[in-house]
Amino acid sequence: MAELVLTVLKYSVIISIPSSVLVLSMEANKPYLKVLYNNPKMLLRYFSVMFILVPAFALALYFFDIDNRHTWMAVLVISLSPASPGMLKNLNRINGETNISIAWMITAILISVVMLPVNLFIIAKILSFNIDLAIDEVMIKLFIMFLLPMSAGFLICKFIPEKVPGLMKIMGLISRISAVVLTICVLIVAIPVLINKSLLSLGLILAFLMITLGLSLLLELPDEKYGPILAYSVVLRLPAPALVLASINGMTRVFAPDLIAFLLIGFILMTAYSKLFYGRKKQNK
Q: Is the pLDDT of residue 52 over 60?
A: yes
Higher-confidence residue of 152 and 143: namely 152
Is residue 135 domain-resident? Answer: yes
Question: Is 169 contained in some domain?
Answer: no
The stretch 236-255 carries a mean pLDDT of: 76
Nearest one of 220, 232, 227, 218 to 267, comparing CA atoms: 232
Domain-embedded: residue 109: yes
Query: Which residues touch 134 (CB under 8 Å, ≥6 apart)?
Result: 244, 245, 248, 249
**Can you tell me the mean pLDDT for 184-203?**
82
Query: Whole-angstrom Cα distance, residue 125 to residue 12?
Result: 37
Mean confidence (pLDDT) of the chain: 85
Least confident window among 56-65, 249-258, 270-279: 249-258
pLDDT, residue 1, reads 61
- β-partners of residue 66 are none
Q: Residue type at 50?
A: M
User: Which is higher by pLDDT, 282 or 174?
Assistant: 174
> For 234-271, b where at least 16 C-beta lie within 10 A, e where not — what string?
bbbbbbbbbbbbbeebebeeebbbbbbbbbbbbbebbe
Q: How confident is the model at residue 283 (pLDDT cuts 50, 70, 90)?
A: very low
- pLDDT at 134 exceeding the cut of 70: no
Average pLDDT on 22-38 reads 86
- Report residue 183's pLDDT band, with 50, 70 and 90 as the boundaries: confident
Listed ranges 22-31, 210-219, 230-239, 270-279; the one with the highest mean pLDDT: 210-219
Q: Is the pLDDT of residue 285 over 50?
A: no
Q: Tell me what the mean pLDDT of segment 126-145 comes to.
A: 75
Out of 26-40, 101-115, 129-143, 224-238, pick the least confident.
Answer: 129-143
Count of structural domains, the chain: 1
Domain with 263, as residue range(s), is 28-163+198-284
Q: Residue 215: is its pLDDT beyond 70?
A: yes
Query: Of the spans 66-70, 196-200, 236-240, which averages the highest pLDDT?
Result: 66-70
- Is residue 138 one of the residues assigned to a domain? yes
Of 78, 79, 80, 75, nearest in space to 62 by CA:
75
Higher per-residue confidence, 191 vs 18: 18
Please check whether residue 251 lies inside any domain of the structure: yes
Asked whether residue 85 carries a pLDDT value surpassing 90, the answer given is: no
- The whole-number pLDDT of residue 61 equals 95
In a domain, 15, yes or no: no
Question: In this structure, is residue 178 part of a structural domain?
Answer: no
Q: What is the mean pLDDT of the segment spanning 42-57?
A: 94
Angle, vertex CA 141, rays to CA 108 and CA 143, nearest 5: 60
Q: Domain holding 125: CATH number?
A: 1.20.1530.20
Q: Is 70 exceeded by the pLDDT of residue 282?
A: no
